[in-house]
């Protein structure tokens, strides 16, 4: 099962919402960083 598209999609959607609607929530930078890191690692690990 390929999970990286879901993590990448979530990160892109949240980044877009942040820029368009000034989305702000507690631990925003932590959540965005974790999503980006997980998506990047999964993309690099795919075969």
The token pair at 16 is 């877009």
Neighbours of 11 (CB within 10 A): 20
What does the pLDDT read at residue 45?
82
DSSP assignment string, the chain: ---HHHHHHHHHHHHHHHHHH----TTHHHHHHHHHHHHHHHHHH--
Predicted confidence (pLDDT) at residue 1 exceeds the cutoff of 70: no
Q: Which of 39, 47, 44 shows the shortest CA–CA distance to 5? A: 39
* Residues 8-47 pLDDT 10s: 888 888 888 777 887 677 887 888 888 888 887 887 787 5
What residue has token string 């965005």?
Answer: 32
């Amino acid at each position: 099962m390929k999970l990286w598209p879901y993590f990448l999609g979530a990160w892109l959607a949240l980044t877009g919402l942040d820029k368009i609607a000034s989305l702000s929530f507690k631990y925003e930078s932590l959540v965005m960083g974790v999503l980006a890191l997980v998506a990047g690692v999964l993309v690099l690990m795919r075969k």
